[in-house]
Amino acid sequence: MNKTLFALATTMALAASSTAHATSTATLKVAGRIAQPACAVSFQGSNTLSLGDLRTDSLNKEKPTRLKPAYATLAVSCSAAARYAFTVLDDAAGTVNPLAVPVADPGAQAVHGFGLGASTKEGRAVNTGAYVVSLADGIAGSVIVHSPMIQSKDGSSWEVASRLIPDGATKTAWTASRAEAGEPASVDQSFVLLTLNAAVIGTDALDAVSELALAGKITFELEYL
């Protein structure tokens, strides 16, 4: 059920009596407005993660190479307590290389992969690699309470979550429960640590170039529950 702010405004119009025309009726008008608490999503510090400058001779030739992890903290701040979740969309979804996903994160499945951009091999397009984003250290509310992260496909059945699923539909939320899975918490602020684990494919599968850019992009969208 949505958490809302309810503002009620009333105006009363009473017809003034006069010696010429008296009235026995009065009209009461009722107006209202229902609105969600205003919430903002942001990242603590920079919203750009760097995987560093990599030397080709430091990468595997025939198999993917796992890169050093990168970190970011996602924060949500609201004007009042609210129940919310977020979905994520991979803006480079077409460039996921499935060979790189299990190297980036051995516990990940194909659905967890994000794209890192594309290159070429002998004129043919080749996806450069993939990355997986894991969730940790969730905090829900003004009082520091460590919160397990949970996910749902339909918004009614929730389970503990450890990684983002970039399908634009899976909802990820915070819960105040320490149980294996619970309902989304109603809080005014929350945080979660995002760990990005990436891998690039073997250099033998890529054209020899002086520089190869790795480029990924995620869109986070907040929704009220």
Residue-range domain boundaries for the chain: 38-224
Structure tokens given for 218: 């995620």
How far apart CA 102 and CA 44 sit, in angstroms, is 28
CATH placement of domain 38-224: 2.60.40
pLDDT of residue 177: 60
Residue 164: pLDDT band (50, 70, 90) is: very high
14-28, 33-47, 78-92, 125-139: least confident range = 14-28
pLDDT confidence of 210, banded at 50, 70, 90? Answer: low
Q: In which band, very low, low, confident or very high, does the pLDDT at 213 lie, cut at 50, 70 and 90?
A: confident
Average pLDDT over residues 94-114: 96
**pLDDT at residue 31, as a whole number:** 78
Looking at residue 11, what is its pLDDT?
A: 35
Q: What percent of the chain has pLDDT over 70?
A: 85
State the average pLDDT over residues 43-62: 87
More confident residue, 143 or 156: 156
User: Given a cut of 80, is residue 29 above it in pLDDT?
Assistant: no
Task: Assign 3-class secondary structure to 95-130.
Answer: HECCCCHHHHCCCCCHHHCEECCEEEECCEEEECEE
Residues 6+ apart with CB under 8 A from 94: 115
18 compared with 33, residue with greater pLDDT: 33
Q: What is the value of pTM for the model shown?
A: 0.81
The yes-or-no verdict on residue 15 having pLDDT over 50 is no
